Structure 1
Amino acid sequence: MTGQHCWGYGEEDGPSEWYRYFPIAQGNRQSPINIVASQAVFNPSLQPLVLSYDQCTSIDISNNGHSVMVEFDDNDDKTVINGGPLNDSYRLKQFHFHWGTQHNEGSEHTVDGKSYPCELHLVHWNAKSYPTFGEAAAASDGLVVLGVFLEIGEKHPGLDRLTDALYMVRFKGTKAQFNNFNPKCLLPSNLEYWTYPGSLTTPPLNESVTWIILKEPIKVSEKQMERFRKTLLFNGEEEEERMHMVNNFRPPQPLNGRKVQASFKC
């Protein structure tokens, strides 16, 4: 097995084995991490986040065999994140999710050891400094990922359109048109956050990410989470085996002396 096809979330190809093909898995700036809230350093100079998503153009929804992803037109600066710990604005490229099989596991980041059922990642890239997403993804200041926790509660109206579309991308390698979706509806009202320097949480695990993790989760219903777990498959349509897409998360990695900063006082 070579390249990007040699990894997954099973016993033989899961996170504990990724270092065999991607040695950076044992690097000093790996993600996710466990955020110890009392050890996060309040930084009063951190700015509020500014999310300009109102003119975003969603293109398609797809199943890449590891998660479900919604991609955006990133050819201009209509859809950007700035403020916070950032010196530049970063364009939204895509968002995807990580989830488990039950209430108490599924998020990649944890807070004081607590895991959430699901975590949303909105991936942005530094188009000011790099000509392509691929080049940005290999640079230390190339990417910004905004993380949002999902917890079980009331039904989330903004998520329904997405869960209704999952059947179209049930199998690995499938893609469907998915226009006019504004991810702003998936954000909590409170944008207070933690931030730290980290990496992609999937291979190639590049240490190129400024992480911004929102403190406040959004609430989704158990039925909405079940749509992820029961509709999506790790397999392609031509494969005989049918494996439900669950537990597609990497566990927390060592902090290695990194500081987690907070935009708020505990």
Structure 2
Amino acid sequence: MSESWGYGVDNGPVHWADKFPVAKDGRRQSPIEIKNAETKHDPALTELILSYDPSTAKSLVNNGHSVQVDFDDSEERSVLSGGPIQGKYRLRQFHLHWGARDGHGSEHVVDGQAYSAELHLVHWNADKYESFELAAQAPDGLAVIGVFLQVAKHNPALKRLISSLDCVQEKCLRIEFNDFNPHTLLPPSLQFWTYLGSLTTPPLYESVIWIVLKDPIHISKEQIARFRTLQFTGPDHLMKDNFRPPQPLNNREVLRNFQ
């Protein structure tokens, strides 16, 4: 990824349009504020089907912008189907965004409420495109599930991920991270909102079918504090507030699969 962007005063989201014009000119940028009363129930939206093979988990990396778990997507082994998407989308990676303090840090906002963090599970349309890179530039190329994290209580499903953060404190550090099922990070209910949007980081391609889960998962104060010990570029530049603010809706329709 380009070094020309980040989350600092000089290279943060307000400056992204300088190098990525779609940030200013795009009509389907993400994230957004979801106003539930203005969303539309769509009875045609089917349930999400997540079929994840834990053996496809490969590695954990600090990419300088977030911490990310990469998956083997060379075959159709960890896939998402149903909901608003056609066919099967392969899981490529998941990563998180979080704030410097509890109560803010999520990218999507619901009825004025932000959460302390947001998990993104990134899938790509391998039925239609030959590679993730090609899919990432196509209008129906990606499907991302967004999961809110609410500071409340200890979440045992996050224990292994968080205990591994010490090994990837610095940018570009990568370790093996095998046999992990991301389904354990999802809430029991998969009710969702969905809309057409974009990547929330440069190059901000408008290629994402967003699926934002209504129910958050829990995380403890101690657990989320561990994410804030990661480094963007050094010990004097800790990784926090790595989120993009909501973008204009531009008359887009936001659908929901619940009454």
User: Aligning the two structures, in what range does the TM-score lie when normalised by the shorter sequence?
Assistant: over 0.9
Please state whether the residue corresponding to 1:124 is helix, strand or coil: strand
Task: Report what 1:203 is aligned to.
Answer: 202
Superposed displacement of residue 207, structure 1: 0.1
Matched, 1:101 2:95: no
Counterpart code for 1:7: W
**CA 1:56–1:141: 2 relative to 1, 3 Å:** farther
- What is the match of residue 148 of structure 1? 147
Deviations 1:203-226 (A, max 9, x none): 000000000000000011111001
Structure 1: 4+ residue segments shifted above 6 A: none
CA-to-aligned-CA distance 1:180-208 (integer Å, 9 cap, x gap): 01101100000000000000000000000
CA deviation vs aligned residue, 1:5-29 (integer Å, no higher than 9, x gap): 1000011100000000000001100
Moved more, 68-77 or 3-12: 3-12
Partner of 1:24: 22
Q: In structure 2, do the counterparts of structure 1 residues 55 and 10 end up closer, same or farther at CA, with 3 Å as the change threshold? A: closer
TM-score by length of 1: 0.95
How has the CA–CA distance of structure 1 residues 49 and 56 changed in structure 2, closer, same or farther, with 3 Å as cutoff?
A: farther
Give the CA deviation at 1:54.
Answer: 3.6
In structure 2, how many angstroms separate the alpha carbons of the residues matched to 1:126 and 1:169? 29
Summarize the alignment of residues 132-211 of structure 1 with structure 2, pairs less than 5 Å apart: 132-211=131-210
Choose which of 216, 229, 242 in structure 1 pairs with 2:236: 242
- What is the alpha-carbon distance in structure 1 between the residues aligned to residue 176 and residue 199 of structure 2? 26
**Which position in structure 1 is the counterpart of 2:249?**
255
Percentage of pairs with the same residue:
52
CA RMSD in angstroms, aligned pairs only: 1.0
- Name the counterpart of 1:10: 8
After TM superposition, give the deviation of residue 242 of structure 1 in Å.
Answer: 2.1
Match of 1:38 in 2: 37
SS at match of 2:159: helix
**1:73 matched to which residue of 2?**
72
SS at match of 1:162: helix
Letter in 1 for 2:181: N
Return the TM-score normalized by structure 2. 0.98
What letter is aligned with 1:212? I
Tell me if the contact between 1:55 and 1:78 (Cα under 8 Å) persists in the aligned partners: no
SS of the aligned residue for 1:216 comes to coil
CA distance in structure 2 between the aligned counterparts of 1:216 and 1:55, rounded to whole angstroms = 23
Number of residue pairs matched?
A: 258
Structure 1: state its 5+ residue gaps. Answer: none
For structure 2, the residue ranges without an aligned partner over 5 or more in a row are none
The secondary structure found in structure 2 opposite 1:6 is coil
Q: Which amino acid aligns with 2:241?
A: N
Q: Distance in 2 between matches of 1:112 and 1:103?
A: 18
Report the 3-state secondary structure (helix = DSSP H, G, I; strand = E; otherwise coil) of the residue aligned with 1:5.
Answer: coil
User: 2 CA distance for matches of 1:83 and 1:201?
Assistant: 23
Paired amino acid for 1:248: N
